[in-house]
Structure 1
Amino acid sequence: MDRREVAGLLAYMGRLDPRTMRTDTAELRDQIAQWHELLGDVPLATGHGWDARDIVRAHVLESPYPILPVDIARKWTAYRRDRLDRHSDPTPAADPDDVASWRAELLGTRHAVAHGQQPPVDQRAITGGPHPDVEARLRAIGSCIPPAVRTELARYRPARAAREAAVAEGRPDPLSVPCGWCRAPIGEPCRSRRTGPDGATRGNARRSTPHPSRVDRAAAQLTQQENAA
């Protein structure tokens, strides 16, 4: 802020909190000089969410004490830190062999983001989707696992293979519903539970086939969905 902007901010602050107003010319001059010394590198407002007048107004509403220039300076520091934390440096357009230009563009982008001149650039997540060749292959085979590889994997995961085969043949998928007998949740295979004389469970081995009651429950659900459709 330059002195003119500091004077405008003090006038706005005086309207909201008359305690901060200075009627003596000398006192007002000293106040402007003090605030300019502390807020000279803090902008009055930017195009991306910062306005010192909002800080003044919020302070007047929340605190019984008059606002100090350090209160605004601290808010500005937190604003800059938050923007840089959300910023991921984009690749500069400069020639990477030109170290000076590369570094200057990188620092210039960071400076613009920190000072509210442009929004942070978030490139931490891949948002463009798969490569067109991969996307075409997925549409052709319907899965990222080729059929030949899926066949080879079937013997190592029989429960998953049986489930996929049932869905492919239009039969109900037993694992799409919880089991009421062994309490297996959706997606988990049934368990062979044996109860001892004292009522405690003695076994918890996975079953290669689901309990008949679970199959019946899945068939009833499939029929209900087909009727609703």
Structure 2
Amino acid sequence: MDRREIAALLAYIGRLDPRTSRIEGEARDQLAQWHELLGDVPMATPHGWDARIAARQHIRLSPYPILPADVARPWESYRRDRLGRHTDPTPSVDPDDQAAWTAELVGTRHAVATGTAQPEQYRAIASGQADPRLAARLREVGSCIPPAARAALAPYRPAQAAREAAIAQGQPDALSIRCEWCLAPPGEPCRRRRIGPDGGARGTALRATPHPGRLDLAAAQQTTQVPQSAVA
């Protein structure tokens, strides 16, 4: 609050509690004291904070004259509550730009703490809407995994690497359909099924390449879709 807002707050408090009224000389000292202690506390914010409400609550509930701390304490509680309910959203800037990434996080937290923005909750609990700026950034880069990181991860996920290589070469995406041999659902790699004498599966290790039958089904599906798209 600036000095004019502090003066307006003191005038409001004086109307509710005449004990706080001061003569002219004491009023100047009181104004300087309150401004020194409450200069970083806003008069009101768009999302629920109002210093006049905090002052009125104290006057209504406490028999003691109000002090600057009786306004500052509710403000600090307001800030802690909002930051406790806030989950940092993913910044929309380039993650390789550390300075811009940090600046956006700090700016978002400051806006939430000062009451100019609402806390961001977990998407599973809230609306689940993705940030449109982040979606535009993802479309620009093509993937959330950088190419260098994707290449480094390839030895540890051979099935996904083989799938990406096949799609890049125009081959059918075998993992887009269900495997009729190992019953792997779409999106998951095939598994080695070793059948024991009793008919039960003895092993289900992941395969780096899909089963031939799955490849044939994917190729047949791709062949069927191409003429349809050409006719359309």
TM-score for both structures, normalised by structure 2: 0.54
CA RMSD of aligned residues (A): 1.9
CA distance in structure 2 between the aligned counterparts of 1:93 and 1:106, rounded to whole angstroms: 10
1:21 aligns with 2:9: no
Amino acid paired to 1:33: A
Structure 1 runs of 4+ with >3 Å offset: 126-129
Contact 1:92 1:105 in 2 (8 A): yes
Q: 2:113 — aligned with what? A: 114
Query: What is the CA-CA distance between 1:50 and the residue it aligns to?
Result: 0.1
CA distance in 2, matches of 1:96, 1:64: 54
Distance 2:128 2:102 in 1: 27
- Alignment partners' CA distance in 1, 2:88 and 2:110: 11
The 3-state SS of whatever aligns with 2:111 is: helix
Provide the residue aligned with 1:84 in structure 2: 83
% identity of equivalent residues: 68
State how many pairs are aligned: 130
After TM superposition, the structure 1 = structure 2 runs for residues 57-96 of structure 1, keeping only pairs within 5 Å, are 57-96=56-95
Q: Deviations over 1:160-182 (max 9, x none)?
A: xxxxxxxxxxxxxxxxxxxxxxx
1:125 Cα deviation (Å)?
Answer: 2.6
Report how far residue 88 of structure 1 moved: 0.3
Structure 1 counterpart of 2:20, one-letter code: T
Q: Measure the CA separation in 2 of the matches of 1:68 and 1:125.
A: 43
Indicate whether 1:7 and 2:7 are aligned: yes
Measure the CA separation in 2 of the matches of 1:121 and 1:92. Answer: 12
- Cα separation, 2, equivalents of 1:58 and 1:77: 16
Gaps of 5+ in 1: 130-144, 146-229
Q: Give the conservation status (yes or no) of the 8 Å contact 1:88–1:124.
A: no
Q: Map 1:20-39 to 2 at 5 A.
A: 20-22=20-22, 24-39=23-38
Q: Unpaired segments of 5 or more residues in structure 2?
A: 130-184, 186-232
* Greater Cα shift, 120-129 or 3-12: 120-129
AA matched with 2:99:
A
CA positional deviation for 1:46: 0.3
Describe the shift of the 1:98–1:36 C-alpha distance in structure 2 as closer, same or farther (beyond 3 A).
same
- Counterpart in the other structure of 2:132: none
Asked if 2 retains the 8 angstrom alpha-carbon contact of 1:48 and 1:119, the reply is yes
1:90/1:30 CA distance change after superposition, 3 Å:
same
